C-alpha cells in the first residue's frame, strides 16, 4: 500500500497583470493521484518502463484520450476546471546495501501557467487545444548536454535558512536541509497543427534563445501558454543516510545523476474554447479545498511492489550512471501486464458478506456518523471491526484513525461517502499495516450485504 504524504497547507494564488508577460497563475496539486508504472503518452495500454508519480484528474489511465479526461470524478490539483494530468518519475533513495526505497513527496506539485508572448509577433498566446500532449526532457540523458531543452530542467537544493544556492542541472551533491525540488519547463512553441507526434516532442519546440522566453522558431510559430512544474521531495529525511562520495538518490528509471529528469503533460483544460484558443478568453479558475484534492486517488494495477524496501527498482531499471546515454532495458522478468486493481479497502464480501461503501469525513468532537457502539481495538483490522459490529447487532461498521471501530445502522444522507475522501482513509491498521483503517477524522465504511455483495468502486486506473 502506498503511504501518501500530505501537504501541510496549500495556498492558491491567482495573479493577473495588465502587462501580459507578467500574467501567470499557479495550480497547486496535493498528494499524487497514483504512483505506478503508467505513462499513457509513451506506453499506451501497457505497463510503462518506470514508475511515475501522477497528478491531476482522475480520468487518467493506461490508455487515455481527451474524452476520458472529461470523465474525471476528482482531481489531485486544485483548479476545478483543470482535468489535465502531469507526471514525472518517482524518486528513490538507494541504501549502501543496494536496496531502494521511495522518497516521499512534499505535497504533490505546483504547476505554473505563464503568459509569455512571443516578442516578434502580435502577442497572441494560444491555450493548448483539447487532447494536446507533450514531453519535456529525456530519461536517457546522463550528462549535461547544454542545450536549451536540457537547460529547461533543473534542481533546487532547498534551504530556507540560508541564501539560495544556484540551481543545478543534476542532483545536488550535498544534503538539502529542506528537501529537493525538481523543475521542468515545457516547450511553449507549437506547430499549430499536431496534438502529439511520434516522439511526443517534435510538434513543439522551445523558444530559440531561452527555454522560458523569447521568439519561437519559424517551424513552430504558435505561442502556447508556458507550463512549468515543480515537484518537491523530502530528501532531507535521508540526510543522515549518505555514504561514500556520491549522492544517494536515483530516479525510478535508474538515473543517479538527475540529467534524465523529464515531465509529461496531457491537456484537459476545457474552459478556453473561444474558437481561436486565445488564453485571455479562458474562464477564471475556481478552486477546491485540500481535503478534496488529497482525497483524490487511483488504485494501482501493476502487480509489482513500488514502495517499502526493494531489491531493485520496479520494471527493468538497473542503475545506469553514465556519462554515456542510458539504454532502455526489458526482459528482466518484471511484470509488464496490467493486472487487477489493488484495492485500498479490504474485500470482506466472501469472508463476511459485508461490502465496502467508502470513506467519509467523521464529526470528531460532534455527533459521530455511526452512533451505535464504538471502541478501540488493539489489533484492529476491518474484519475485526466488522466482527465487533456483528456481535453488537449492527449492520454498518466504520474504521477510523488506525484503531477506532464504530458501529451503527444508518448513515446520515449528508455524510454519505463520495469519491474524493478516499485518499484520507489510508491509515495503516493497528493490527495489520498492510490494510487501511480510515484516517484522522475520516471513517472507512463497510456494510452488511443485502442480497448481492459488491464493493463500491471508486476511481480505478482504467485499462
Site residues for ligand NAG per CB under 6 A: 65, 67, 95, 97, 99, 121-122, 124, 276, 278, 309
- Which cell is 331 given? 526482459
To ligand NAG, the closest distance from the beta carbon of 206 in angstroms equals 19
- Which cell is 236 given? 532531507
Q: Dihedral sign for Cα 141, 262, 333, 103, please.
A: positive
According to DSSP, the β-strands at 249-251 and 204-205 are: unpaired
Contact call for residues 153 and 169 (beta carbons, < 8 A)? yes
To ligand NAG, the closest distance from the beta carbon of 242 in angstroms equals 12
- Which cell is 401 given? 484513525
Half-sphere exposure of 295 (CA within 13 A, CB side): 27
Q: Which residues of 261-288 are buried (b: 16+ CB within 10 A; e: fewer)?
A: bbbbbbbbbbbbeeeebebeebeebebb
CA distances 117 to 27, 136, 149, 455, Å, are 20, 20, 19, 51
Q: Dihedral sign for Cα 183, 189, 191, 193, please.
A: positive
- Which of residues 268 and 396 has its CB atom nearest to ligand NAG in the complex? 268
- Which of residues 66 and 458 has its CB atom nearest to ligand NAG in the complex? 66
To ligand NAG, the closest distance from the beta carbon of 278 in angstroms equals 6
- Which of residues 10 and 103 has its CB atom nearest to ligand NAG in the complex? 103
Residues 6+ apart with CB under 8 A from 391: none
To ligand NAG, the closest distance from the beta carbon of 126 in angstroms equals 8
- Which cell is 97 given? 546495501
- Which of residues 97 and 161 has its CB atom nearest to ligand NAG in the complex? 97
Contact call for residues 56 and 82 (beta carbons, < 8 A)? yes
- Which of residues 64 and 348 has its CB atom nearest to ligand NAG in the complex? 64
- Which of residues 125 and 326 has its CB atom nearest to ligand NAG in the complex? 125
To ligand NAG, the closest distance from the beta carbon of 394 in angstroms equals 42
To ligand NAG, the closest distance from the beta carbon of 3 in angstroms equals 16
- Which of residues 94 and 360 has its CB atom nearest to ligand NAG in the complex? 94
d(CA 275, CA 251): 40
- Which of residues 192 and 318 has its CB atom nearest to ligand NAG in the complex? 192
d(CA 296, CA 293): 5
- Which of residues 65 and 210 has its CB atom nearest to ligand NAG in the complex? 65
To ligand NAG, the closest distance from the beta carbon of 234 in angstroms equals 16
- Which of residues 117 and 423 has its CB atom nearest to ligand NAG in the complex? 117
To ligand NAG, the closest distance from the beta carbon of 32 in angstroms equals 23
CA distances 360 to 59, 64, 262, 390, 406, Å, are 21, 29, 36, 21, 13
- Name residue, grid cell 510503462: 48
- On the 0-12 / 13-18 / 19+ scale of CB atoms within 10 A, 347 is middle
- Which of residues 238 and 354 has its CB atom nearest to ligand NAG in the complex? 238
- On the 0-12 / 13-18 / 19+ scale of CB atoms within 10 A, 240 is exposed
To ligand NAG, the closest distance from the beta carbon of 44 in angstroms equals 13
- Which cell is 265 given? 503533460
To ligand NAG, the closest distance from the beta carbon of 349 in angstroms equals 34
To ligand NAG, the closest distance from the beta carbon of 315 in angstroms equals 19
Amino acid at each position: 500500500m502506498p503511504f501518501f504524504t500530505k501537504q501541510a497547507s496549500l495556498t492558491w494564488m491567482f495573479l493577473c497583470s495588465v502587462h501580459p508577460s507578467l500574467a501567470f497563475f499557479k495550480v497547486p496539486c496535493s498528494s499524487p493521484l497514483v504512483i505506478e508504472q503508467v505513462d499513457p503518452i509513451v506506453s499506451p495500454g501497457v505497463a510503462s518502463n518506470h514508475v511515475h508519480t501522477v497528478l491531476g484528474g482522475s480520468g487518467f489511465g493506461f490508455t487515455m484520450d481527451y474524452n476520458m479526461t472529461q470523465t474525471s470524478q476528482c482531481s489531485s490539483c486544485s483548479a476545478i476546471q483543470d482535468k489535465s494530468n502531469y507526471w514525472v518519475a518517482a524518486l528513490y533513495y538507494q541504501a549502501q546495501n543496494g536496496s531502494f526505497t521511495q522518497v516521499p513527496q512534499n505535497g504533490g506539485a505546483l504547476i505554473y501557467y505563464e503568459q509569455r508572448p512571443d516578442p516578434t509577433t502580435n502577442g497572441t498566446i494560444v491555450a493548448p487545444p483539447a487532447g494536446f500532449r507533450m514531453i519535456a526532457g529525456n530519461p536517457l540523458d546522463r550528462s549535461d548536454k547544454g542545450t536549451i531543452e536540457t537547460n529547461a530542467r533543473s534542481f533546487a537544493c532547498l534551504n530556507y535558512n540560508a541564501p539560495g544556492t544556484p540551481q543545478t542541472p543534476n542532483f545536488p551533491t550535498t544534503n538539502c536541509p529542506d528537501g529537493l525540488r525538481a523543475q521542468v519547463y515545457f516547450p511553449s512553441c507549437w506547430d499549430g497543427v499536431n496534438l502529439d507526434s511520434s516522439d511526443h516532442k517534435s510538434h513543439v519546440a522551445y523558444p530559440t534563445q531561452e527555454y522560458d522566453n523569447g521568439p519561437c522558431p519559424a517551424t513552430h510559430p504558435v505561442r502556447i501558454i508556458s507550463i512549468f512544474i515543480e515537484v518537491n521531495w523530502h530528501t532531507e529525511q535521508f540526510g543522515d543516510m549518505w555514504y561514500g562520495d556520491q549522492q544517494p538518490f536515483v530516479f525510478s528509471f535508474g538515473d543517479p545523476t538527475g540529467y534524465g529528469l523529464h515531465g509529461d503533460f496531457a491537456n484537459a483544460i476545457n474552459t478556453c474554447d473561444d474558437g481561436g484558443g486565445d488564453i485571455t478568453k479562458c474562464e477564471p479558475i475556481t478552486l477546491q479545498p485540500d481535503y478534496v484534492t488529497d482525497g483524490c486517488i487511483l488504485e494501482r494495477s501493476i502487480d509489482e511492489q513500488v514502495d517499502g524496501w526493494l531489491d531493485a527498482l520496479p520494471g527493468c531499471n538497473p542503475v545506469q550512471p553514465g556519462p554515456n546515454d542510458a539504454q532502455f532495458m526489458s526482459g528482466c522478468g518484471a511484470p509488464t501486464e496490467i493486472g487487477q486493481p489493488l484495492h485500498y479497502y479490504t474485500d470482506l464480501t466472501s469472508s463476511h458478506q459485508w461490502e465496502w461503501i467508502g470513506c467519509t469525513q467523521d464529526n470528531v468532537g460532534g455527533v459521530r456518523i455511526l452512533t451505535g457502539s464504538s471502541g478501540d481495538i488493539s489489533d484492529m483490522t476491518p474484519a475485526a471491526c466488522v466482527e465487533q459490529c456483528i456481535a453488537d447487532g449492527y449492520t454498518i461498521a466504520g474504521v477510523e484513525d488506525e484503531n477506532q471501530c464504530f458501529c451503527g445502522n444508518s448513515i446520515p444522507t449528508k455524510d454519505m461517502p463520495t469519491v474524493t475522501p478516499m485518499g484520507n482513509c489510508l491509515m495503516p491498521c493497528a493490527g495489520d499495516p498492510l490494510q487501511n483503517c480510515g484516517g484522522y477524522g475520516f471513517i472507512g465504511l463497510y456494510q452488511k450485504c443485502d442480497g448481492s455483495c459488491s464493493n463500491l468502486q471508486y476511481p480505478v486506473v482504467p485499462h
